[in-house]
Structure 1
Amino acid sequence: MGALGDRLKLMVKTFRRECHRVLQSERTTVHGADGMLMVLQLAMAEVNKQRAGEFKVPLSDVLMAWKHLLLSKLHLPPPDFARLENYDLILEAYESFLKRSNTVDLVDILRMYKQLTLADSEEPVSPTQLFQFLSGNVEVSELPDSSVPSTPSSKGRPCCSPQVKMAVRRVFCSYLNLLVNTKNDMALALTLDVPGRALGRQAFTDIKHAAQNANTSLFLAVTSFVRAIQLGGKGYAPAESDPLRKHVKGLSDYVQFLDNLEEILGETPDPSVCGAKLVTAIRAALVKGRSSGDELYAAAEETTRELSERICQIHQTQQLAANGSGMGISPARPKAYKVNHATAYGGRDTVKVLVALLDEEALTPPCANKADLLSEEQPVLGGAEGTCVLTLFRSPEVSSGDSPQPLKNRVQSRLDLLKPKAKDKVVRSQFACTYKDEEQPLNRVLEFPSSSQVPTCVHPAPKVKATPTVDEECSAGVEGGDTDEPTPECPNKERSGAQQGAALEPRSGNAPIRGAGPGRAKNTGVHAPSKGNKRKQVDSDRHGGAENQPPEKKRPTGASVKMPAKNVNRAPASKKKLIAGQGKLTSFFRV
């Protein structure tokens, strides 16, 4: 179908020559059949997200909408099957994406061709023929001068699969497309992480959100952020909370690489030499760190050679057309809209050659396997995440915690919870029992506490026992002994009296006790208690009555210790009152 290829090429050339009448920019690029299908997939996924909340679309729905889109835009009869429910919204999203990215499709070129030419002129391609070409029903093996035959220098090199070669060629053309049209979001998506720059789906999502907030293209959002980082300055650099801060290195490398391509474009006046340098720089970036026997290496080498030769041929053709086909005719004076058209850029001649090259790439036959195109996964190009356009434009899913985890994960987390944790060995003070221990695992809490877990600092409440009076206690200590020698129990008389004073009579702890002395025990009429009762009384005083008093040091007893008799009648020295519980805690820790 060489004739169809000639007519398609004539249609595009006529559009380029007169596009200034219907377009606002000379740098508008064209989407071919594959590009149109990918844009349609993104538009349908966007509509599904707005309607159902999921940025995804089945492949069967894309193919159904693809036929409806072509027939409706070409004003042909619709197919026999019903169109989708949200087709109007899908068509609106499709046209919005093309306008936002400063691109057009082949159907728009045919429509504008009718406006640009005379009404009585014959159309180079009928709507039916264009529909057959875009849907893949007509095989167009080769367009005129669209490919270069293999040279003998390519023999002996490892061959590459058609899918890898097609993907590599698409990446080359996407880089060249960004040099012509920086608003092309599809070109940026295909080149952002090729070669790998650690700019995966999360980075692309952050760029997309930044572009939406600023109402700009993806490329402008990236360059604005990187330029602000490079310029620096307090109050001018992006905030630390900017999501793009996490991808500074990858974005800087990407912008630096495109700056190098722009520098080559502006400093090399010859389009043939400039085009060869551009594709060589792209090849060097793709094959960096790869061996010569790699499949990607072979595809990049072959694509570099073909594009360089094709750029040289296009440049020669444009030179012949500008010089009047070599007939010595003086070229026409360039028109105002052909010089810059409100745009200033270097390498104007090279840009014209690149535009013609990209137009020819848009006229290539569509991919035979639509599933490989729409769900392509190419880890050989873009690392682990691949270069699938739909995957890049889909934002990463944020875990809401509503969906349950798999049973295996829940069981493992439960076992980790019940597993006892090793405690750090730390040195604690003597009051370690006042510290609150860490929360024990659930299985320890449910079990019955052992004897070691029973708190040792808690004492039972003292039992109230009937105790003798102070005079009887002292009289028991001097039973059968010398009245001039005080017993060790008599000095406790003040403490026991102070503790039991509430039951006997109100008295102050510092007031002297009346009748204290050995002579008092002699003249009393109360019989002294027995030794057994005396031991019980001492135990009762030690555990019950004297809980708020520190234990008394042992004192020597017997005839070896003589105390002067005059000290018996002396009032005891005043002692400081202890707070509640201080005596109990001190006696517990005394070792």
Structure 2
Amino acid sequence: MEALSDHLKVMVKVFRRECHRVLDSERTTIHGADGMLMMLQLAIAEVSKKHGGEFKVPLSDVLMAWKHLLLDKLHLPPPDFARLENYDLIREAYESFLKRSNTVDLLDIFSMYKQLRLVDLDPDEPVSAIQMFDFLSGNTEVQERPDSSVPSTPSSQSRRCSAQVKAAVRRVFCSYLSLLVNSKDDMSLALTLDVPSRALGRQAFTDLKHAAQDKNMSLFLAVTSFVRAIQLGGRGYAPAESDPLRKHVKGLSEFVTFLDNLEEILGEVPDPSVCGARLVTAIRSALVKGRSSGDAVHAAAEETTAELKERIFHLHQIQKQNTNSSGTGISPARPKAYAVNHATAYGGRDTVKVLLALLDEEAVTAPCQNKAELLSEDQPVLSGAEGTCFLTLFRSPEVASGCSPEPLKTRVQSRLDLLKPKAKDKVIRSQFACTYNDEEPPLNRVLEFPSTSQVPTCVHPAPKTVPPVDEESPSDGEETTSDKPAPAAENKKQSGARRGAALAPRSGNAQNRSRGSTGKTGAPMQNKGNKRKQVDSEQHGGSENEPPLKKQPASVPVKAPGKNVGKTLSKKKLIAGQGTLTSFFRV
């Protein structure tokens, strides 16, 4: 009911007025029912991952733990059903997140109200424990959110999606304003890091989360310290090249620059109404950049901007009336320890008060009736890459999404396929294949052309030299005369003498070589046609140029008259390899 909502606002105002008695910082922000439920889901997922499971939690476990948490902190009897297995660890993780973020929830406000309220000013307790439980559980009809212009009756799918987008956009607006008040709020940073899109997806957020955990600092301080070290530190203080955040320098710098612009507006504009309007307008400009007027995010941003501007102006007028009621028209001086910004700067002090009042009102609004819609990972896409689900942002991208061994087997098999050498296509090699630069020589080339270190398996024997024949050998002469006529033998001897002289080594007697080639009469050398005939005749009847394996017994020619006969016969002795070389050049 409307009365319950007003009572909750009174309780929060008392806490804000006297919080310096129990808290170290007056910039402590308050999480509403939706924020509490999102943090509880994150705590359950972290505990589940720590004990060997995945970073994932069913919706039923969240709702079960949510009911136990409400009854425990309100000191009410526990429910009939049993607790979760690791409920104590879940609550410890939940409280640790609140403390680390410099935030409190509505249950803490309710418990501290009894200590902080003044009996003279606040004689009665506005809200009971049962009413608080019903409010946070969603069992009580309370005043609708200021932005909920959509009726609660069943509507079309497009209208429900529009309401969900509007709620997500309003959450982003309040997260940016919360960072200006409380920079340690990790939830606000997670919801605004990549909204609008800055190419800072889950991998960038995971690297940032690990860096903050290693240095034991908040996410915002980890971002700003990294960017400042690059911008102002120089080489000596710049992060190492191996730093994982080096891959996201551009996006992180854009995020820090945008927050610097908001801080500049907050410190330079003294009027809270004007300053708040400029802050909201700057956030709207960033969200609608690059979007058409018909886009759902564009329409939600325009509507949220108008509502927040009006609400900031109204809160500023209320604070001015409270200040004027003191009589002097000037806010009384307060000790430095109780200053909103701890006396570090005066600029923006009044605006921070207005922003705190706005965030406190957002915390006491009615919780989301559809818990599945709030906690589902299928959130509206505001950054152009991924949804704005709080649990998805904190999940590392390396973790598998399922527990079945099939995805792992598939990934291993694909990795093995990549490591296998790729088979090369067989191509027809041309006559210029020797000019190709192959990575590995073909197998036939390796076998046909072994290296010099390998021992040859087959070696042809050297041709046997024919000893010179004596001129007075009657037995050889008889065999020759009986086989072939003397004129033919004499011609063969003369042709063999000429070829022997042509293939003789150059280190021999030059005079004998010249005489053997031209003869005593000075006859010229034979032409190519005669050489062709000579080779043909030698293939059929010659014996000195036959291959070594098929060499026939040499026939001794008959002694012929003449002075050059002895010299011609002496030239028939072949050098080593001459027979093989001669057979190689045969046509």
Distance apart, 1:189 and its partner CA: 0.8
Aligned residue number for residue 67 of structure 1: 67
Letter in 1 for 2:425: P
Aligned residue number for residue 167 of structure 2: 166
Letter in 2 for 1:113: Y
Aligned residue number for residue 249 of structure 1: 250
Aligned residue number for residue 409 of structure 2: 404
* Residue 461 (structure 1) aligned with residue 466 (structure 2): no
Distance apart, 1:408 and its partner CA: 11
The number of aligned residues is 514
Matches within 5 A, 1:430-509: 438=440, 457=449, 461-462=458-459, 469-471=466-468, 480=490, 487=497, 490=500
Distance apart, 1:380 and its partner CA: 3.7
Matches within 5 A, 1:366-385: 366-385=367-386
Cα distance in 2 between the residues matched to 1:273 and 1:283: 15
**CA displacement 1:420-461 (0-9 Å, x = unmatched):** 27799996657x7xx766489xxxxxxxx9xx9996558972
Cα distance in 2 between the residues matched to 1:275 and 1:267: 12
**CA displacement 1:213-234 (0-9 Å, x = unmatched):** 2211111111112112222522
Aligned residue number for residue 98 of structure 2: 98
Calculate the aligned-residue CA RMSD, in Å: 4.8
Aligned residue number for residue 281 of structure 1: 282
Cα distance in 1 between the residues matched to 2:459 and 2:84: 88
Cα distance in 2 between the residues matched to 1:473 and 1:397: 97
Letter in 2 for 1:487: A
Cα distance in 2 between the residues matched to 1:46 and 1:467: 93
Report if the CA contact (8 A) 2:202-2:393 is conserved: yes
2:129 counterpart (124, 127, 134): 127
367-376 vs 110-119, which moves further: 110-119
Structure 2: which 5+ residue stretches go unaligned?
151-157, 451-455, 481-487, 510-515, 517-536, 552-562
Letter in 1 for 2:295: D
Cα distance in 1 between the residues matched to 2:94 and 2:431: 67
**CA displacement 1:185-217 (0-9 Å, x = unmatched):** 110111111111111111111111111122111
Aligned residue number for residue 504 of structure 1: none
Report if the CA contact (8 A) 2:29-2:356 is conserved: yes
Letter in 2 for 1:420: D
Structure 1: which 5+ residue stretches go unaligned?
151-157, 441-448, 496-509, 513-517, 519-529, 545-561, 578-582
| CA pair 480-102 structure 1, distance change in 2 beyond 3 A | same
Structure with bigger gyration radius: 2
TM-score by length of 1: 0.74
Which secondary structure does the structure 2 equivalent of 1:30 belong to?
A: strand
Matches within 5 A, 1:25-104: 25-104=25-104
Cα distance in 2 between the residues matched to 1:273 and 1:196: 27
Matches within 5 A, 1:61-460: 61-117=61-117, 122-142=124-144, 161-231=162-232, 233-324=234-325, 332-340=332-340, 342-345=342-345, 346-397=347-398, 403-405=408-410, 417=422, 420=425, 429=434, 438=440, 457=449
27-36 vs 482-491, which moves further: 482-491
Distance apart, 1:398 and its partner CA: 6.5
Which secondary structure does the structure 1 equivalent of 2:369 belong to?
A: coil
Cα distance in 2 between the residues matched to 1:398 and 1:355: 38
Report if the CA contact (8 A) 2:468-2:573 is conserved: no
Distance apart, 1:364 and its partner CA: 1.0
Report if the CA contact (8 A) 2:464-2:548 is conserved: no
Aligned residue number for residue 552 of structure 1: none
Cα distance in 2 between the residues matched to 1:3 and 1:480: 144
Cα distance in 1 between the residues matched to 2:357 and 2:276: 12
Cα distance in 2 between the residues matched to 1:71 and 1:358: 25
Distance apart, 1:114 and its partner CA: 1.8
Cα distance in 1 between the residues matched to 2:428 and 2:10: 81
Distance apart, 1:378 and its partner CA: 3.9
| CA pair 222-466 structure 1, distance change in 2 beyond 3 A | closer
Report if the CA contact (8 A) 2:208-2:223 is conserved: yes
Aligned residue number for residue 515 of structure 1: none
Cα distance in 2 between the residues matched to 1:568 and 1:487: 7
| CA pair 93-484 structure 1, distance change in 2 beyond 3 A | same
Distance apart, 1:491 and its partner CA: 6.7
300-309 vs 368-377, which moves further: 368-377
TM-score by length of 2: 0.74
305-314 vs 231-240, which moves further: 231-240
Cα distance in 2 between the residues matched to 1:372 and 1:193: 21
123-132 vs 356-365, which moves further: 123-132
Cα distance in 1 between the residues matched to 2:2 and 2:114: 23
Report if the CA contact (8 A) 1:484-1:565 is conserved: no
Cα distance in 1 between the residues matched to 2:117 and 2:586: 111
Distance apart, 1:335 and its partner CA: 3.7
**CA displacement 1:63-90 (0-9 Å, x = unmatched):** 1111111111111111111111111111
Aligned residue number for residue 554 of structure 1: none
Report if the CA contact (8 A) 1:287-1:300 is conserved: yes
Cα distance in 1 between the residues matched to 2:439 and 2:148: 80
